[in-house]
Amino acid sequence: MLSLLDLSARIDAGRLTPEGAVGLVREAIASREPEVGALVCVDPAPAVPASGPLAGIAVGIKDIIDTADLPTRMGSSIYENWRPLADAPVVARLKRLGAVPLAKTTTTPFAFLDPTRTRNPSNPGHTPGGSSAGSAAAVAAGMLPLALGTQTGGSVIRPAAFCGVVGVKPSFRLLPTVGVKCYSWALDTLGLFAAGVADAAHALALLADRPAIARAGDGGAPRIGILRQEFCATPEPEAEAALARAAAAAERAGAAIRDLTLPAPFGEAFAAHGTIQDYEARQALAWEYAAHRDALPPRLRAALDEAQGIETAAYDAARRTAHHARRGLKDVFSENGFDVLLTYAAPGAAPAGLDHTGDSRFNRLWTLMGVPCVTLPVDRTEAGLPVGVQVIARFGDDGRALAAAGLIERALRG
């Protein structure tokens, strides 16, 4: 994989120019893209700034995020020829930092469940996950050092785990979702993919203009709660093994490890996620549903059909349940003395087949809670498929989540 920090260090040392760094990415795309299919389009002649903290860093932009220099097709034929007039603020921020938004990455249509054509770089017969399939696969295939995605259920954490890269879903609204096609305004969260934890921390700190995010590893060994999310169906054995291996590595590195079972209200909040998501999607995609229902893919069309029957009272009740759980999560951290939680990133390795994107059951609660989450690759199955874990911190404590993930990453390598 291409490391953002390695490329930047070579540029800073004069061993590589920003144009040369982009050229390396182009070579990687030419080599791997025919097999992986992670990209919608590539800018043939982008501006490459000569300076800036991300100068020479090519970035993949999920194709529901507006770009003035490239089409934004939402993964749908409805927007086949759509060309925004302006960059989304997060893209504009990348450009100010010197980065090069080089390619649009594949997304499931409107970031729902109908799969893309993208294949898992570790095994082309397995799903890369969704909905940020292209972003995760492009980084995993070594085609891009950084890519943006979004998460409404598990669309950053799950594909990162399936593809074997670091994925970060930051605290809710840490990064602006203006200029991003909305599915659920209470849940949609911008995230990113990178080769390693330090790369991801560096990129997030710059994007959010919060340098402390990349310096959060100075607080000593973390206190970690091991969470198995009993309100979800049991994971595959490889997910359990990865969680145990990550916990053991953290303990070797000095972390204090203790099991945690969440109180009942969190299971209720987990169940409420779908009501909130679908009620809001019904409104966010009201024009597409009314004017182009037959052009919507089957899973999305069926979900919107069913969402028409959700009553406002049920939505309001689900929001109250979520709010109660968010308040309770603060107590879970403080009363147990935990810095972070460690849990499954996905039910197991990427499933076989390209007709689905996998299960987000271990991600949905944390999207609803709005807290920062980091996927960390841990193992590979006998078939060579990656398996990851998920590190979770308090709302606004993104640096601590990344620092704990970095500690585990280093311990696993040691």
Enumerate the active-site residues: 62, 131, 155
Triad 323, 328, 329: Cα angle to 5°: 100
Taking alpha carbons only, the member of 150, 207, 138, 208 closest to residue 179 is 150
How many angstroms separate the Cα of 156 from the Cα of each of 129, 163, 269, 349, 364?
9, 11, 20, 15, 11
Dihedral-angle region of residue 370 (phi above 0 means left; psi in -120 to 50 means alpha; beta otherwise): left
Please list, residue by residue across 283-320, b when 16 or more beta carbons sit within 10 angstroms of its beta carbon and e when fewer do: ebbeebbeeeeeebbebbbebbeebeebeeeebeebbe
Write the DSSP assignment of 138-179 as a string of letters.
Answer: HHHTTS-SEEEEEESSSTTHHHHHHHTSEEEE-STTSS--TT
> Residue 69 burial (CB < 10 Å; 0-12/13-18/19+)?
middle
What sign results for the dihedral spanned by CA atoms 120, 362, 360, 101?
Answer: negative
Query: SS3 for 313?
Result: helix
How many angstroms separate the Cα of 53 from the Cα of each of 98, 149, 166, 196, 270?
6, 21, 21, 18, 39
Rounded CA-CA distance 214/190 in Å is 18
DSSP secondary-structure letter at 180?
Answer: B
